[in-house]
């Protein structure tokens, strides 16, 4: 299997730290120092996750030299579907005109891209289809409480898409290995309390602001540092590789300090670590494709490079994918 193309999209509107200073009791200095974030993109009212996904997906299909009709499977990783049902994959399928595709949404929060990539790769590897579209897209601004300074500074909106294709020759086999975990004992460290079957929407849930992200930041921070390092180390060791042998380490972008701590513990040289959180914040399912895209544009990611993707997200969800970059 090979990643045949990559494309990303963020909405044009920028929300800076200075803008947030006007909404909550925070400062540019605090946000930059504690998170590494300078600005993030957010949608205008009415723009949905499938709208962002469509922009990234259409371009990814075209860059792969394909048409929407060539796509046999669509996996959309998201924690902000347009609605609870139908799936955003269905809405996207219709918007891009992928008339021969089936597909589904995958809920793994910030690990949605690594999970979706692994899932699609396995289906392609099993002969289920020749071309799968993998999208990570989130409109986090739709579930963020812009009165809560502990969460509203962290998140942004965005989308990224790759086409995973069956390759003819073994040499083009770029998805080398993967490792995933879930740990539901951490479910209350990062969650949205209402809107599901546990607490259906009511006047009370709205009044109590329960349709927004709630987070115990310290618990998530420690888990993310520990697990990013652990899952990456396990995957490298299993493949007889050292951290130094990697060309690029692409972590989910949640906090600059999480990425720095995890990669220092792991022993990846900092020049091999991509961090672009300053411009986008945490876009949940979209951070890894956005980071890959920046790495490609800046010449830090080239065809044949050995790349490790790693993510930790709400759930908790943990993922890592080892690949040889094929574009």
Phi, psi of 132, deg, nearest 5? -115, 140
Q: Among 17, 90, 110, 255, which one carries the catalytic annotation?
A: 110
| Residues 94, 87: Cα–Cα separation, whole Å | 11
By Cβ distance, which residue is nearest to ligand COA?
217
Q: Among 17, 255, 276, 282, which one carries the catalytic annotation?
A: 282
b/e map of 23-53 (b: 16 or more CB within 10 Å)?
Answer: eeebeeeebeebbbbbbbbbbeeebbbbbbb
Q: How far is the CB of 34 from ligand COA (least distance, A)?
A: 5
Q: How far is the CB of 216 from ligand COA (least distance, A)?
A: 8
Burial class (CB within 10 angstroms; exposed 0-12, middle 13-18, buried 19+) of 134: buried
Q: Which residue's CB is nearer to ligand COA, number 156 or number 326?
A: 156
| Residues 96, 90: Cα–Cα separation, whole Å | 10
Q: Which residue's CB is nearer to ligand COA, number 24 or number 241?
A: 24
Q: How far is the CB of 103 from ligand COA (least distance, A)?
A: 24
Q: Which residue's CB is nearer to ligand COA, number 104 or number 146?
A: 146
Please count the CA atoms within 13 angstroms of the CA of 43 that sit on its side-chain side.
23
Q: How far is the CB of 182 from ligand COA (least distance, A)?
A: 14
SS3 of 284, please? Answer: helix
Q: Which residue's CB is nearer to ligand COA, number 149 or number 265?
A: 149
User: Is 252 a known active-site residue?
Assistant: yes
Residue 305, Cβ neighbours under 10 Å: how many?
Answer: 17
Q: How far is the CB of 291 from ligand COA (least distance, A)?
A: 14
User: Is 188 a known active-site residue?
Assistant: no
Question: H-type helices in the chain, by residue range?
Answer: 17-23, 28-35, 49-63, 88-96, 112-125, 149-152, 203-207, 217-238, 256-266, 277-280, 287-297
DSSP 315: T
Q: In angstroms, how far is the first alpha carbon of the chain from the final one?
A: 12
Q: Among 17, 131, 152, 252, which one carries the catalytic annotation?
A: 252
Q: Which residue's CB is nearer to ligand COA, number 195 or number 217?
A: 217
Residues lying near ligand COA in the complex (CB under 6 A) are found at 26, 30-31, 34-35, 110, 149-150, 153, 190, 217-218, 220-221, 224, 254-255, 258, 282, 313
Q: How far is the CB of 232 from ligand COA (least distance, A)?
A: 16
Cα-based angle 212, 180, 183 (whole degrees, multiple of 5) = 50
Q: Which residue's CB is nearer to ligand COA, number 122 or number 150?
A: 150
The H or E element containing residue 190 is strand 190-191
Residue 321 in tokens? 């994918």
SS3 of 200, please? Answer: coil
Task: Report, as residue numbers or ranges, the catalytic residues.
Answer: 110, 252, 282
């Amino acid at each position: 299997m090979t990643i045949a193309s990559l494309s990303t999209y963020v909405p044009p509107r920028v929300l800076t730290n200075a803008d947030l200073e006007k909404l909550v009791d925070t400062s540019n200095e605090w946000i930059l120092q504690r998170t590494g974030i300078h600005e993030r993109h957010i949608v205008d009212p009415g723009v949905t996750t499938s709208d962002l996904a469509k922009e990234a997906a259409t371009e990814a299909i075209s860059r792969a030299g394909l048409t929407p009709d060539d796509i046999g499977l669509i996996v959309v990783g998201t924690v902000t579907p347009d609605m609870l049902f139908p799936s955003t994959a269905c809405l996207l399928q219709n918007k891009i005109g992928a008339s021969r595709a089936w597909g589904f949404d995958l809920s793994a929060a910030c690990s949605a891209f690594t999970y979706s990539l692994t899932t699609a790769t396995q289906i392609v590897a099993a002969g289920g289809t020749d071309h799968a579209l993998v999208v990570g897209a989130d409109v986090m601004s739709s579930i963020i409480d812009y009165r809560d300074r502990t969460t509203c500074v962290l998140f942004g909106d965005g989308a990224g898409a790759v086409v995973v294709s069956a390759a003819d020759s073994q040499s083009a086999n770029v998805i080398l290995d993967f490792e995933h975990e879930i740990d539901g004992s951490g479910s209350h460290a990062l969650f949205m309390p209402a809107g599901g079957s546990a607490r259906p929407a009511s006047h009370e849930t709205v009044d109590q602001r329960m349709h927004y992200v709630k987070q115990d930041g310290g618990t998530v921070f420690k888990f993310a540092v520990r697990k990013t390092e652990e899952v990456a180390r396990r995957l490298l060791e299993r493949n007889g590789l050292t951290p130094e042998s990697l060309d690029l380490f692409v972590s989910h972008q949640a906090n600059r300090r999480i990425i720095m701590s995890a990669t220092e513990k792991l022993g990846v040289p900092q020049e091999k670590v991509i961090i672009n959180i300053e411009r986008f914040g945490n876009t949940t399912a979209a951070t890894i494709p956005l980071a890959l895209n920046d790495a490609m544009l800046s010449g830090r990611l080239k065809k044949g490079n050995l790349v490790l993707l790693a993510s930790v997200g709400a759930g908790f969800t943990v993922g890592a994918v080892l690949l040889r970059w094929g574009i």
